[in-house]
C-alpha cells in the first residue's frame, strides 16, 4: 500500500471515521456546552442570592445602627433577622444577623435568648 493515498481513499477514511465517531463527538460537544451553560447559570443564581442577602443585611444594619430599638422597630428588625436566617441561611449574612439578634436580646435584658 502506498504511503500517500489517493484523494478518494482519504475521503473514504474520513467518512468512515465520522460514521464511527461523529455521534459521540457531537454528543460530547453538546454535553460540554450544557455543562458550561449550567455552571454559568448556577454562578449567576448564587451571585444574585448573595446580593439580595447583602441588601437585606444592609437594611438591618441601617435600622439598628447606634440606636436602641423598641416596639415596631424591634419587630421590623426581628423580621429582617428571621428573613436572613430562613432565606439566606447558608450565607455569612445570616450568621451576622444572628449575632445582631443576640445583641438586641442583651439590650432587652433577655440573656437566655442571647
Q: What would the pLDDT profile of 41-97 be if each residue is shown by its tens digit?
A: 999 999 999 999 999 999 999 888 877 777 788 888 889 999 999 999 888 999 999
62/81 Cα distance (integer angstroms): 13
Residue 3 lies in a domain: no
Instruction: Domain count for the chain, please give it.
Output: 1
Q: Is the pLDDT of residue 114 over 70?
A: no
pLDDT at residue number 20: 93
Residue 46 lies in a domain: yes
Domain containing 19 equals 10-107
Residue 29 lies in a domain: yes
Q: Which helix H or strand E contains 3, and what residues bound it?
A: none
Q: Which positions ≥6 away from 96 have C-beta within 8 Å?
A: 57
pLDDT in tens, 3-42: 567 888 888 999 999 999 999 999 999 999 999 999 999 9
* All cell numbers assigned to 39: 455552571
Could you give the dihedral angle defined by the CA atoms of residues 99, 102, 103 and 104, in that order, rounded to the nearest 10 degrees? 120
Amino acid at each position: 500500500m502506498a504511503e500517500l493515498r489517493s484523494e478518494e481513499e482519504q475521503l473514504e477514511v474520513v467518512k468512515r471515521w465520522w460514521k464511527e465517531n461523529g455521534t459521540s463527538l457531537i454528543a460530547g460537544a453538546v454535553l460540554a456546552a450544557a455543562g458550561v451553560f449550567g455552571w454559568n447559570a448556577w454562578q449567576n443564581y448564587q451571585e444574585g442570592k448573595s446580593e439580595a442577602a447583602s441588601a437585606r443585611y444592609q437594611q438591618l444594619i441601617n435600622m439598628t445602627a447606634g440606636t436602641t430599638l423598641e416596639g415596631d422597630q424591634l419587630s421590623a428588625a426581628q423580621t429582617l433577622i428571621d428573613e436572613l436566617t430562613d432565606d439566606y441561611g447558608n450565607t455569612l449574612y445570616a450568621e451576622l444577623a444572628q449575632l445582631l439578634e443576640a445583641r438586641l436580646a442583651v439590650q432587652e435584658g433577655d440573656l437566655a435568648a442571647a
